Chains A and B, each alone.
Chain A
């Protein structure tokens, strides 16, 4: 039982939970059992089958329904008298503004992506509401406490590197299976089924760029007198045969690399009739769209099996034909979705055929899906532990007991006998552009870069602003919002295309611009420094932002994972990535899916790159020595006066 002080702090608290997923379900349950009376919960997601192994408030019959609402209803069954308000909405929606946040005593995050975490962090800072942040991946997890002015904010330390790959690695010189996945998903799938007008690097690095890319436009467009099978054959031969052949002619590329081998339909499926329209027709007879599956059609059952080149080729054809015959209407608008079985089959098959070409080991559909979908490893136990720790910290926060707040790491292998390791929170980082007012410095060629470049490469992607406003002195240069007049919108649109030095309020070397997000109430000043030249390879943005710490590439993660890894399975670790990275690089993950890559320049990480939890092993080990064997008696002396967690 909790002490009297604790109970009254709990009873009076109004709590905002962001996220009703893995951690959220556990957290809502533990809050309700602990005596919390007034809980608001936001989650934009609906329930999926793969949630049910850990999100225990949900049942099969709830699939497709709002997580926040179903979680609320489930908890009210055993605690009907408490107030739970659910919002099936995105926490970035404009109604969840600073005033909305101000009504809460504490905010508890159970989120799965960096973008939303940053957003909530800023709103908490602006509203001056303490934030308890959390994350898990596999057996690893962590809880951190962020109180404005007292502890570091969520963004005081550099955040993990979204893993991205140079374009040429993807288009020409893949050496790992993940490169093949990125190619199959972001290039081939997008080219065939997505927006045709989008830039796509599918052919760019072939020998003669100009003719080849022109040529490719024709290639991917079905011809008039061509049936699906003929089209599919042509695509197959083009991307796995012709393109590789072309690439081989560039001797320079293969000096220090193994040469790939071109693969043509006739080499792989020579013994079966190419024309299979009859079978396709049968297949198309009675399937409903959501259960369309090339595997089912081909009699392949186990997603853990690794298919041969031949089987992959069959899956490739079957999936492609199914898309073009049964899902014709979606073509042109499809984006890869890990929960779309046909899309996963197609990407698996295409990635494997490419892998075969480049002599890279093939992978099962299960593994390919994990990589392509950037799927986070997740178990119920870690979420339950983390939720318990969140409540323990939340109660301290509610009692204004900041000095006893701890960051806690949940480890897979004990460190100095500890599986749960509390660490004193760090002080705010004085040069954090989010919680301190330190200006940033931007080096840019003000005669070449357009305002659009500034918005896309800095304001949106690096600073994570969703409703930005850019001003030079009192002159407005750019603004986003629903309440703008037509003229204003047109004016700002026009500004986007202007180079910085030619804007109405010219941005040149020495200019200080103000960038503001009206919803997050975050204001940053950026000092502009003109620079003529940029290194295309090292500075692909054509501009360099200082003061904002770039996420380092997650190179150390493999090693770290082995030290305290989440995975005991043989599944390859999905490399993580995020759209926040540079435009010129291909990323393997779409925004908003379960991903939070771990990383930090000074922090060596102990979790897998796509974790929900950035875990910082170095910091965990850096605990003051006096903490080791810190005696219970010491803690109890404090505890007697102020019985913070007694029950």
Chain B
């Protein structure tokens, strides 16, 4: 980081945030490369935040066509292009995001998320995936972990008024300011697969019920071979059945995963824009922390439910 200065243009544009995280962090941000897949409302919010913050590049992956549902939480695509033009979601979002900050290189990567190999991810410092299957989460996470460099991995999902963020920074060292001195801290993160394999009964008491509920729904979609979010109220009996089986296997009281919560998650899978804004903001902040190496990163799950208004961090790991 020595010797290189921010340009006059950067200093003027980023003035207010440099006052928050410093010049060093800003330089690191401008050299970082971020990949996102699954451009629903929450990820769109995240993209906006990270482009404004001034990352080096942002690569968008989502081949889906623009549908009414996709537009519901999307502020990037102008109205007159609604469902017209035939461009993919990523292509249309790319145009708008470029506009937000000319200093960030925004591009589109076509293809199915599962088709990208380990080398593909080497280009990036941060990988964020959303709206994808359990298998895809595990597999992309593993690919990131196979690389010699550390690629920060995140998943984010929003259902109904609830949201979940998962973070894997592998072995992560960062500077923490304590009183007047800066302390070096280290954290060891489990992979997504490792984290969710931890037996529920060995987790600390009072882990957010959302954690368990999200695992049940995720498992249900996998067993039923559904696309992410492809559930309805009709599925509730089967989801409850699966809940009971999992609770039995994990020796967890069923009341820890209330029917009503599962009902909300299964019945309305659309995003609620204010919740997307909250999750996209938290995720943006976490990615900025991870890139800049400044501040406590969250380990390793974050949950938000607009019904009780709490934004909770849960550490689901063995270390």
Contact = CB atoms under 8 A, between A and B. Distances in A.
Interface of A: 1-2, 26, 29-30, 32-34, 49-50, 52-54, 56, 59-60, 75, 77-80, 138-139, 301-304, 366, 370, 375-385, 387-389, 391-392, 395, 406, 408, 410, 412-414, 417-422, 562, 565-571, 629-633, 635-637, 639-640, 644-647
B38 interface: no
A24 B268 CA distance: 29
B56 interface: no
A405 to B, nearest CB: 9
A632 B208 contact: yes
B319 interface: no
Contacts of B179: 562
19 contacts: A1-B272, A26-B277, A53-B16, A78-B79, A304-B23, A370-B19, A377-B19, A378-B17, A378-B19, A380-B53, A382-B281, A385-B278, A388-B273, A391-B277, A420-B282, A567-B19, A569-B20, A632-B209, A635-B305
B230 to A, nearest CB: 15
Contact of B75 (A32, A421, A647): A32
A638 B75 CA distance: 32
B20 A422 contact: no
B2 to A, nearest CB: 13
Contacts of A630: 308, 310
B277 A647 contact: no
B235 to A, nearest CB: 17
Interface string B100-135: 111000000000000000000000000000000000
Interface stretch (B44-52, B149-157, B191-199): B44-52
Given A32-B75, A419-B302, A635 B270 contact: no
Contacts, number: 240
B308 to A, nearest CB: 4
Contacts of A32: 75
A631 B272 contact: no
B211 to A, nearest CB: 10
B311 A419 contact: yes
A379 B282 CA distance: 12
Interface of B: 5, 8, 11-23, 25, 41, 45, 48-49, 52-54, 72-79, 99-102, 160-161, 177, 179, 206, 208-210, 255, 258, 260-261, 264, 268, 270-278, 280-282, 284-285, 288, 294-296, 298, 302, 304-314
B280 A384 contact: yes
A389 B100 contact: no
A325 B157 CA distance: 61
A33 B252 CA distance: 39
Contacts of A635: 305, 307-308
A321 to B, nearest CB: 23
Given A33-B41, A78-B74, A375-B19, A422 B309 contact: yes
The 7 closest A-B pairs by CB, nearest first: A420-B311, A647-B272, A388-B277, A422-B309, A385-B281, A569-B22, A33-B273
Contacts of B268: 1, 646-647
Given A49-B13, A382-B285, 7 more contacts: A380-B53, A388-B274, A395-B274, A417-B312, A422-B310, A632-B308, A633-B255
Given A302-B5, A420-B309, A80 B79 contact: yes
Given A79-B79, A568-B20, A647-B161, A639 B260 contact: yes
Nearest to B312: A417
A49 B12 contact: yes
A1 to B, nearest CB: 4
